[in-house]
Amino acid sequence: MIWSKEETLSRAEMEKLQLERLQETVKRVYEKVPYYRAKMDEKGVKPEDIKTLQDLQKLPFTTKQDMRDTYPFGLFAVPRDEIVRIHASSGTTGKPTVVGYTRGDLDTWTDCVSRIACMGGATSKDVSQICFGYGMFTGALGLHYGLENIGSAIVPSSTGNSEKQLMYMKDFNTTLLVATPSYALRLAEVAREIGIDPKTDLSIKTALVGSELLTDAMREEMHLAWGRDVNITSNYGMSELMGPGVSGECLEHCGMHINEDYFLPEIIDSVTGEVLPAGEKGELVITCIKKEGLPLIRYRTKDVTRLFYEPCACGRTTCRMENLSGRSDDMLKIRGVNVFPGQIEEVVLSVEELGPHYEIIVEREGYTDKLTVRVELNKETDSFAELQRIEKVTKNKLKVVLGLDAKIRLESPNTLQRFEGKAKRIKDLRKVNTKGEGK
C-alpha cells in the first residue's frame, strides 16, 4: 500500500513542490537563524538567489561540527516555546547533537515513518514490537508513532531481556519486528537456546530494520533465522534530519525511496564538495525542506550511496538511494587500503562454518597495520585439519575481497559481545598511540 499521494507525483510536480519548499525554508532560516545568515552572507548568497533547484548548490553545507558549535539549540529556527520534543544523538564521538521538533514536525515525522512502514509491508493488522531503545535515541519513538498511525498495535518492548521479548512475541502473536539487523539475529539465537523456533513458533511476517547497515549477506542470514517468507526491508534516517523516515526500501528491494518532498537529496564528492550527477557514488547531502524546528541546509550525512530517479515497479516515483555501502567515517584505512566493515561482514557470513557475529581489530606493529578478525565457530569438530581449513577459507576470501592479509581468530560460540542497539564491531587500537592516524 502507498501511504501518501506525494510518493507518486510526476518528476515535474515533485520538483515544483521541492522548489517552493526550498525557497520558503531558505528565506526562513536566513531570517530566523543567525548562524545560517552569517554563513550565507559569507558566501554572498541571499534567499532570493534561489530561483531553481540547481541554485541549491550556492548554499553552504552544514556539518555535525556546526551542530556542536551551536550546541544545544543554536540552529533552531523557532522560539524554544514552539519546540515540543527534544532528542539527541548518542554523542559517542563528542558532544551529542541535539534536535528539536515542533508539533508540525512530529506530524511530518509520523507521516514519513508511516510511508516507510507501508513500503516494507506493514498494515493496520500488524502487531508491531519495537525492539529499539526508547529514550533520547530517535529510532524507537519514530517507528512507534509511524506504525501506530497506520493502525498497527504497538508493543513498546524496547531493548534488553531477550527472553521476555520472545515471550511477548509468542504470546501476543507479534507479526512485525523493529530492530537492528544484529539484534534481530541475536533474538533468533536466544529463541533457539530456549527451545523456540523463530520460523514455526513465532508469527513474524515483516521486519523493519535500521540504524545499522543491512548487507545482502546479513539479509540472507536473517532469512535463514526468521524464515524465507519474512519481508525484510531496511530504512534510513538520522536524528539530525529527523530520525528514521528519511528513506526506506519497498518490497521490490531496489534501493530506499527517499521522502523527497521533505528531504531534498544531493550526492557530492566528499573531498571537493562538488555535486555529482545522478547514478554516481558519493556522499549523501540532505536539505530539510519542510522542517520547522531544525531545518538543516545541505547537511553532510557522511553516508556513501548513489541516487536513481527512474520510477519503481512498486508504483512510487520518488528518488531511490542505493543501500548504503558504508559511512565515509566508518571506513578504515589499513595498510593504505580502504576497508568498509561491511566487506568483512559479507565474508564472515559467507563461510557457513562461522556464526554471524564478528569483531575487527586493527593494531600497529612497528610501522605495519595488522588486521585481526575474531569469529565464532559454528561447527562442531574433532579435527585440527578441519579448523585450519575453516581459517584458511576465511582468510583467502578476505584476501580476495580486501586485498589484505588478515589473521583469523576462531572462538567458541557466544564469546563475542552481542549488541542491542548499534553494533560496535571495530577496535582500532592504532589510535591509542598514534594520534591523528587510524580511521
Cβ-Cβ contacts under 8 Å for 268 (sequence gap 6 or more): 274, 275, 276, 282, 283, 285, 300
Could you give the strand order of the β-sheet that contains 407-411, starting from the edge strand earlier in sequence? Answer: 407-411, 368-377, 354-365, 426-428
Listed ranges 66-74, 136-144, 170-178, 407-415: which one lies at the site for other proteins (CB under 8 A): 407-415
Residue labelled with grid coordinates 576462531: 410
Cβ-Cβ contacts under 8 Å for 303 (sequence gap 6 or more): 236, 283, 284, 324, 326, 327, 328
Kindly state the smallest distance separating residue 162's Cβ from other proteins, in Å. Answer: 15
Q: CA 202 to CA 196: how far, in whole Å?
A: 8
Asked if 412 interacts with other proteins (CB under 8 A), we say yes
233: helix, coil or strand?
Answer: strand
CB nearer other proteins, residue 92 or residue 417 = 417
Kindly state the smallest distance separating residue 381's Cβ from other proteins, in Å. Answer: 7
Question: Please, are residues 183 and 356 in contact by the beta-carbon 8 Å criterion?
Answer: no
- The β-bridge relationship of strands 243-249 and 231-238 is antiparallel
Tell me which of 54, 92, 368, 383 binds other proteins, using CB under 8 A.
Answer: 383
Among 366, 118, 425, CA closest to 250: 118
* Region 348-377 residues binding other proteins, contact defined as CB under 8 A: 377
Asked if 380 interacts with other proteins (CB under 8 A), we say yes
* Region 288-317 residues binding other proteins, contact defined as CB under 8 A: none
Q: CA 222 to CA 313: how far, in whole Å?
A: 24
- Amino acid in position 111: D
Tell me which of 15, 55, 363, 411 binds other proteins, using CB under 8 A.
Answer: 411
Asked if 389 interacts with other proteins (CB under 8 A), we say no
Kindly state the smallest distance separating residue 382's Cβ from other proteins, in Å. Answer: 4
Tell me which of 195, 228, 384, 436 binds other proteins, using CB under 8 A.
Answer: 384
**Phi, psi for residue 320 in degrees, rounded to 5:** -110, 145
Listed ranges 4-12, 25-33, 132-140, 380-388: which one lies at the site for other proteins (CB under 8 A): 380-388
* Region 193-252 residues binding other proteins, contact defined as CB under 8 A: none
CB nearer other proteins, residue 231 or residue 415 = 415
CB nearer other proteins, residue 417 or residue 433 = 417
Kindly state the smallest distance separating residue 236's Cβ from other proteins, in Å. Answer: 35
Asked if 417 interacts with other proteins (CB under 8 A), we say no
Tell me which of 10, 396, 414, 434 binds other proteins, using CB under 8 A.
Answer: 414
Asked if 192 interacts with other proteins (CB under 8 A), we say no
Kindly state the smallest distance separating residue 200's Cβ from other proteins, in Å. Answer: 22
Tell me which of 17, 45, 410, 416 binds other proteins, using CB under 8 A.
Answer: 410
Q: CA 89 to CA 109: how far, in whole Å?
A: 17
In this structure, the dihedral spanned by the alpha carbons of residues 136, 140, 143 and 147, taken in order and rounded to 10 degrees, is -120
Specify the DSSP element, H or E, that contains 41: helix 34-43
CA angle 298, 52, 2 (to 5 degrees): 70
Among 412, 381, 411, 375, CA closest to 394: 375
Asked if 387 interacts with other proteins (CB under 8 A), we say yes
Residue 356's alpha-carbon distances to 113, 303, 353, 359, in angstroms, are 29, 24, 10, 10
Kindly state the smallest distance separating residue 384's Cβ from other proteins, in Å. Answer: 7
Asked if 254 interacts with other proteins (CB under 8 A), we say no
CB nearer other proteins, residue 67 or residue 348 = 348
Kindly state the smallest distance separating residue 264's Cβ from other proteins, in Å. Answer: 49
Among 379, 371, 378, 361, CA closest to 407: 371
Q: CA 319 to CA 265: how far, in whole Å?
A: 9
- Count of residues of this chain found to bind other proteins when the rule CB under 8 A is applied: 16
Kindly state the smallest distance separating residue 386's Cβ from other proteins, in Å. Answer: 10
Asked if 65 interacts with other proteins (CB under 8 A), we say no
Kindly state the smallest distance separating residue 310's Cβ from other proteins, in Å. Answer: 48
Asked if 190 interacts with other proteins (CB under 8 A), we say no
Residue labelled with grid coordinates 545482502: 216
Kindly state the smallest distance separating residue 270's Cβ from other proteins, in Å. Answer: 38
Tell me which of 382, 400, 417, 435 binds other proteins, using CB under 8 A.
Answer: 382
Kindly state the smallest distance separating residue 230's Cβ from other proteins, in Å. Answer: 27
Binding site for other proteins (CB under 8 A): 377-384, 387, 409-415
